[in-house]
Amino acid sequence: MMTESIVNRIIAERPNHDGALTVAGLGHRRRMPLSELHDRARAVAGALGRNGIREGDRIGVLAANRLEWVLLDLAALMLKAQTAGFEPGKFTPDAELVERYDLDLLYTDVPVPGGAPATVRPIAEIAGHADEDPPELGNLLWEPGECTTVKFTSGSTGIPKGLEATAASVDSSLRDVQGIFGHRPGDDVLVFLPLSLLQQRYWLYSALRWGHDITITTFQSVFAVMPAVEPTVVMGVPAFFDTAKRHIEGRLADGVDSSKAAAELFGSRIRYLWTGSAPADQAMLRFFNEAGLPIFEGYGLNETCIATKNHPGAHREGSVGKALPGKEILIGDDGVVRVRSDHPVNTAYTYAPPGESERMFKLGGVVRTGDLGHLDDDGFLYIHGRADDLIVLDNGKKVIVRPVETRFRDTGAVAECVLYCPAQTELVAVVSPPPGPVDAEAITAALEAVNAASEPDERIARVITADEPFTIDNGLLTSQFKPIRKRIHERYRARIDDPKEGIHAR
Amino acid sequence: MPADIDTLAREQLAQVLRDRPDPTSLDLGEDLVETYGLTSLNKVLFLTSLCKAAEVGLESFTEDDLAGMRTLGDVVDALRPHADQKG
């Protein structure tokens, strides 16, 4: 049963606690009490209202993490206007974007292109509005089924799908996460992933409600900011923690002890690390746990929000945790994970090609994730891979590729590994080399080690070393750092299909 | 007193590269991303470590400065005035 709405409480009540927001980056840092942030957001809401923004309107934000992003988000909530967060670098602030997603205003930090409609505004002007005296706003409150924001799926192809999130789903996730982690005054949650991702903005709502601090920075600055602000909680995708692990390992090799090396990078106050969005390597998770930085992996899609999470009270290695109180995990006969929510994010996409909603959203608040998994007797969920990552060999044997790919990554010889089956029973891996010159000998040794640890049908016949590491910029990783299987196949098809190409297994 | 900035920069870059190359083999003119495969996360780690070693305040630089540091030579040029100020 839902009780008080957290969203409604944080917009209606000026915080009376000591929580603060820090916005930091290379060369700048600004700290502001959350009570002041609330005042400034009300001032921005007043200005937006004067500019004609009303309940039900939609405000787009296409900008890197910054104070104005936060102010706009809160101001929009106060006006019952929707936000639409666009990931920087992935969209152009032009008439097409405004039209396609029905935006009433679009604020951006990139130069406004010539010919853009007057509804496209530089986000810097929000700073001016924030300095005004905050007006008294009407007592607008969100109904549980009303949608506070539109989020966009970082799909591998085509136009991003839009998904509106209900106020009840936001409340439910905030309440469930608070129930297992108990964030409190003294905590400082570090946010560096884009604020266009709703889950990152949850930490702002959490700070306003429960009185902890929040620090917002950018992906580019995070390693410089962490030791300076000394957060207690850091949320990052596995690739971020992989990089941190390699750095700390380098320091250990220099003779620095592990707690000092970890503190140099993360500061000395870490309570726990949060990861999700993409599969995490067990070796990486173990590394941080053993270094005294507990790290908790979870699971969820845009369409379900957070569904399961390991946490200090219930943690099992190799799993992505148990279902949150408002969620239920169902495994179908096909082995595919389904998530049922008491308060669904939504029951359909807002912008998507025909058939997409039906494929994902089922009756009764159920979402079919497309991931394969199982539950253990205690309710911990284990993800095996994507249902569409299943390769059926010509001999009828089924190979779930992800465990094999993970095994290859875990050797440390490659940064990423994606498997294909171009002919009969021959598995071919395309690997993304780690930074620096390609070490063919290390990859050959890793191939032999992976095959020695694999079942006969899982053995890799050949390895194609990619010409350059997979990156977001070259289109081979999603913004969540997941390899884009189809594009990698398109890029390396000739070599995958040529049996003479690559490093051959013995 | 830190060693000269050129030497420090080579040493710190070698440390963030996976195969830990000989610092003297690194080329000041090569692109950090394209030639040495430095990711954006590793780039800021490299700058952080270098500033610490050179005793230069990290706050001297902005994200735009970081984006402009495309080669090891760019990094050395950006740090040198600050290191010189320290005497």
3-state DSSP assignment of residue A124: coil
What is the CATH code of the structural domain delimited by A6-203? 3.40.50.980
- DSSP secondary structure code for residue A81 in this structure: P
Q: Which residues on chain A are in Cβ contact (under 8 Å) with B42?
A: 243, 247, 435
In this complex, which of B16, B19, B61 lies closest to A26 when CB atoms are compared? B61
Mutation target vs A (from B63, B64, B72, B82; most A CBs, 10 A cutoff): B63
Evaluate if residue B2 carries a pLDDT over 70. no
Burial (CB < 10 A; 0-12, 13-18, 19+), residue A388, is: exposed
pLDDT at A156: 43
Comparing CA positions, the residue from B43, B45, B47 lying closest to residue B31 is B43
Evaluate if residue A157 carries a pLDDT over 70. no
Comparing CA positions, the residue from A431, A464, A389, A415 lying closest to residue A156 is A389
Evaluate if residue A451 carries a pLDDT over 70. yes
Q: How confident is the model at residue A1 (pLDDT cuts 50, 70, 90)?
A: very low
pLDDT at B1: 43
Burial (CB < 10 A; 0-12, 13-18, 19+), residue A442, is: middle
* More confident of the two residues A277 and A366: A366
Comparing CA positions, the residue from A453, A398, A28, A482 lying closest to residue A220 is A28
In this complex, which of A250, A434, A471 lies closest to B15 when CB atoms are compared? A250
**Nearest residue of A to residue B21, measured between CA atoms:** A436
Element at A40 (helix H, strand E):
helix A34-50
Evaluate if residue A266 carries a pLDDT over 50. yes
Mean pLDDT throughout A452-475?
Answer: 89
pTM comes to: 0.83
Rounded CA separation A494/A497 (Å): 5
What phi and psi values does residue A315 have, to the nearest 5 degrees? -140, 125
* All structural domains of chain A with their residue ranges: 6-203, 393-504
Q: Which residues are CB-contacts of A255 (< 8 A; sequence separation ≥ 6)? A: none
Evaluate if residue A466 carries a pLDDT over 70. yes
Q: Are A503 and A463 in contact (CB under 8 A)?
A: yes
Q: Which residues on chain A are in Cβ contact (under 8 Å) with B41?
A: 219, 222-223, 240, 243
Tokens of A80: 């019952």
pLDDT at A3: 67
Mean pLDDT throughout A136-152?
Answer: 93
What phi and psi values does residue B27 have, to the nearest 5 degrees? -100, 125
Q: What's the fold here for domain B5-86?
A: 1.10.1200
Mean of per-residue pLDDT scores for chain A: 92
Tell me the per-residue pLDDT of A19-48, one tens digit each, with 9 for 90 and over.
Answer: 999 999 988 999 999 999 999 999 999 999
CATH 3.30.300.30 fits A393-504, yes or no: yes
* All structural domains of chain B with their residue ranges: 5-86
Mean pLDDT throughout A476-503?
Answer: 88
Comparing CA positions, the residue from A321, A337, A416, A413 lying closest to residue A372 is A337
ipTM of the complex: 0.84
